[in-house]
Structure 1
Amino acid sequence: MATYLEQLETPVPVVDLDRLSHNLDRMAAYATLHGLRLRPHVKTHKSPRIAAEQLRLGAAGLACATLREAEVMAEVCHDLLVAYPPVGAARLERLARLPSHVRLAVAADDVQALDALAVAARLGQRTIDVLVEADLGMHRVGVTAPGKAVAMARHIDRASSLRFAGLQFYPGHVRAHVKDQDAGLAQVGHDLAEYIEALTADGLPPHTVSGGSTPLAWRMHEVPGVNEVRPGTYVYNDRTTAQIGACDWEDCALTVLATVVSVSVKGQAVVDAGTKALGREPLRAEGDGYGALLDHPDVLVTRLSEEHGILDLSRSSWRPRLGDQVRIVPNHVCIVVHLFDEIIGVRGHAVETRWPVTARGRDSNRELDRAPSGPRAV
């Protein structure tokens, strides 16, 4: 018997399967066209089901942020990059215990971290590839000068249990609209060239030069030396990627289905999706609010409580009724996915499938839940 959106208890994340398929195909085609290795970041979907489809479409491997993600993705992929500093005994132990069939790489920016990583690799009886993280403007992690990258690469090269694999960078500081990215992209290319030249001159040319971020992913082929891209958000897209022109509004595949629970205050409506369903991240582009309605983009979620979202109706002639369902495009989809246990896949109003967000959380002890179950939100 068919199930329809109107029968779902809200709030719940729903994915338009046709839009999802389009997004996956588009990025795979881009990478193939420009001869780039595609290594999608799983932080957005956290699902082996989506990861398997990315790999089927030609992805060379997967990028992870957490050890939970890496442990889950090892079930479907034999080539993983943990794109997060390998610091801390517990993290290193879990890293070394990943299945032996997995070709494992990490990103690092500190010699002390390398020494601990080398010990963990020896104890785990494996060799770990290391990408030197370079800070090209994000000022979050990464070595800050080409000479430091050379020193890191030399240190890696001397460690028997480590292998220097190349460079990694994340250009998340370039947040301009796609039409206005030229200057930022040119600076990234200039700075990256200095790192590549320094390593090559020292006899350690980087085999892999890996750049991340969905907003710049479509232009990574313009940066000399880059041969791998690590976009994550593109699978679902969100209000931010649409606002900066990295996708069309019609490419936003994931929305939070919510129900109007109050219309008593003039000029607004209240839905049952608050911070525990949408997060509270501001828009990382021009605009305000915490989300917008898919079918009425001029209606924004302007205020949030834990379980309440306030829709501002002042710029729209649309007026919802009590009990109406709405689909909210969140500002940042990665945060939203992490708030739920399961995703609902739909075509039109019909529920076609569902899958667990298996890699959410950080616990390594609970059994991996592979069996689909009823929709539920945390």
Structure 2
Amino acid sequence: MKKINYDNIPLGKGIPTNMGLDHVGIVVPNAQEAADFLMEVFDADFDWEVKREPQPTAGERGWSTLFGVHPESYLSHVIMLKCGEHHLTQYIELFEWKSPDQLTLQGENGWHKFSDLGNSYISFTVKDMDQVVKHIKEKVIPKWKGTRFIQDPPMNFPLRGEVCTSTFIVSPWGMWIELTSWSQSKETGKVIKAQQTFEQNKYIGQSINNLPTPAFLIDLDAVDHNVDLMVSRIINKGVEWRVPAKAHKCPELAQYMIDKGANGVVLLTLSEAEFFADHGIQNIYLANILFTKEELERLSLLAKKIKHLRVAVDSVDYLRDLAAAVERWEITSPIEVLVELNINHNRCGASVVDAVEIAQIAKEIETTTGSIIFSGITGYEGHTPILPPEEKTQQTLISHKILADAKAAIEAKGIDVKVVSGGGSCNYIDCLNANILTEIQAGGGAICDLLYSRKANLGDHGHKIGALVLSQVISVPNDKSRAVTNAGFKAIGWHPFGGLPEPRDRKDLVVVGLSAEHARFEGIDLAKSTASEIVKGQANVERGEKIVLIPGYTDAMGFLHKEIYGVRKDLVEHVWKTCSANNWN
């Protein structure tokens, strides 16, 4: 046999821009059973799936010509799994075909013999082969029928300048799976995420005085109180409660509220929705309008990742573009659609007449293609938040009458309106009294700041302030005429609705101005001041002292921070990442 001279093979002359192996595709008898095995035994992560009906067939799709399969066959189920942390080479795609001429193999469990043409296997790298063999014998083989070792004990051989230890097991569907361990490389590699030892953040359990500043704090006692209050008022009345996350942009804080009763989140950008989905949030309402083809494709693919994706539409064109994108990617779970109405906020939203047309077309698409599901209507009373209480109540009722009229008009066409979603923290009590909404979108009231507590009057309804910022005094002149901390509007935000922040614990200090990096304080003489007259005093603080501030409006602040510290009695209990930590918008 002629010896190959590898020195003469030109390097870097292959296909341009090659980034490496992407995934391995395998045809299996039952995709779900194969996925269950790989997820349980090898800690593979579910990535996405597509299920198809027998119609259209491969012949009708043109696949019989393209792939050479039987024209009456169809690809019933496809599941993609991720089996490691690297962005390439870690994916396995499982295909389940139904075909009249499908070959039934006669080998062990109906799989190829190792010597057969077309045989394939997959290989996993492990750190401790002895531990793996013991686990498979005790935990895997007794549970998964048909699973067995091919080689026990494993074999050892030199390869790539190391010693490779290798063994094979047979999967329940008959495929061979190799397990390898490397004498040197295993020491530098990491086990997959599911098996990594959790490393507790160093600040957990510490006083907030040990935190770097400025820091975004969430008072968990206050949040627990507010969430319990909203659950008792909203959910216990039979209304769904969905929490907007625009104030904090933190999946873990959103999940904290979902675990206590909320049914999902409201997000306003596609990037946020993707970030939240990647961090385990399974019920997302994207309450915004997308436009570009690339955005619609990303939105469609997002539906593969989570259990429940809802979007708002306010035009027929957008509805059709959305449906076409979903159909193209053959999404397993249809995207739920709410028709958005303009209820006097004069931002996005259709008129009642247009909403009826959009609903009719949405229902038609649902019936014919199933790519979307029409669920109902939505609207946002964004003009009401800080109106005086009586006027806010009146304007909320006027806005909700538009929703009620739209619901009646759509149902007059024989279309069921299951969801009427709207409201916000500032007017959620008025929304409950109006008795039109089936779902209330209220998130700011759960964490609560100066705007929600005072200008929206939630403090009068029992809400406690939970959003805080920790700052540090960096400058105090000798005459103590002022003090300066390191939390300016780039840390605490600024919005005219919210106004300037206030110290939580220091009634003898007042914030008189914000610049980009700094907050400027002056002192108050409490002994001489009255309710009607504030008498200026000295700023009795020292350089290095920590001051907890209450932000004016968290919506203008949360996106500025990469981390949120969940604290209880000023001790750190959680450290959560926000979208900003990954440069998401």
Pairwise TM-score range, normalised by the shorter structure:
0.7 to 0.9
Q: For 1:232 and 1:121, how far apart are their aligned partners in 2?
A: 29
Is residue 247 of structure 1 aligned with residue 459 of structure 2?
yes
1:218-271 Cα shifts (integer Å, max 9, x gaps): 232222331001112122111100112123697111211111222338643211
Is residue 154 of structure 1 aligned with residue 360 of structure 2?
yes
Q: For 2:391 and 2:320, how far apart are their aligned partners in 1?
A: 42
Is residue 168 of structure 1 aligned with residue 374 of structure 2?
no
1:1-378 pair list within 5 angstroms: 2-74=205-277, 75-100=279-304, 101-126=306-331, 127-143=334-350, 145-159=351-365, 160=369, 161-174=371-384, 175-178=386-389, 180-243=391-454, 244-247=456-459, 251-264=464-477, 267-284=481-498, 289-296=499-506, 299-313=509-523, 315=534, 317=537, 319-321=539-541, 322-358=543-579, 363=584
Letter paired with 1:138 = H
SS in 2 for 1:84: coil
Q: For 1:356 and 1:214, how far apart are their aligned partners in 2?
A: 24
* Residues 77 and 102 in structure 1, CA contact (< 8 A), matched pair in contact too: no
Q: For 1:274 and 1:153, how far apart are their aligned partners in 2?
A: 47
Q: For 1:320 and 1:298, how far apart are their aligned partners in 2?
A: 8
Q: For 1:191 and 1:318, how far apart are their aligned partners in 2?
A: 54
Q: Relative to structure 2, which stretch is displaced further, 85-94 or 237-246?
A: 85-94
Q: For 2:382 and 2:564, how far apart are their aligned partners in 1?
A: 27
Q: For 1:29 and 1:318, how far apart are their aligned partners in 2?
A: 45
Q: For 1:177 and 1:241, how far apart are their aligned partners in 2?
A: 13
Q: Structure 1 residues 354, 156: closer, same or farther in 2, change over 3 A?
A: same
TM-score, normalised to structure 1, is 0.87
Letter paired with 2:319 = L
Shift of 1:48: 2.6
Q: Structure 1 residues 268, 107: closer, same or farther in 2, change over 3 A?
A: same
Q: For 1:296 and 1:186, how far apart are their aligned partners in 2?
A: 40
TM-score, normalised to structure 2, is 0.57
Q: For 1:115 and 1:197, how far apart are their aligned partners in 2?
A: 24
* Residues 86 and 108 in structure 1, CA contact (< 8 A), matched pair in contact too: no
Q: Relative to structure 2, which stretch is displaced further, 84-93 or 353-362?
A: 353-362
1:22-79 Cα shifts (integer Å, max 9, x gaps): 1222212222221101111122232232222322223222221122322233343433
Q: For 2:582 and 2:355, how far apart are their aligned partners in 1?
A: 32
Shift of 1:80: 1.8
Letter paired with 1:155 = I
Letter paired with 1:53 = Y
Q: For 1:313 and 1:162, how far apart are their aligned partners in 2?
A: 59
Q: Relative to structure 2, which stretch is displaced further, 295-304 or 37-46?
A: 295-304
The number of aligned residues is 359
SS in 2 for 1:70: helix
Letter paired with 1:240 = L
Q: Structure 1 residues 250, 218: closer, same or farther in 2, change over 3 A?
A: closer
* Residues 403 and 420 in structure 2, CA contact (< 8 A), matched pair in contact too: no
1:289-315 Cα shifts (integer Å, max 9, x gaps): 421122246854332222111224464
Q: For 2:582 and 2:217, how far apart are their aligned partners in 1?
A: 20
Unaligned runs of 5+ in 2: 1-201, 525-533
Structure exhibiting the larger radius of gyration computed from Cα positions: 2
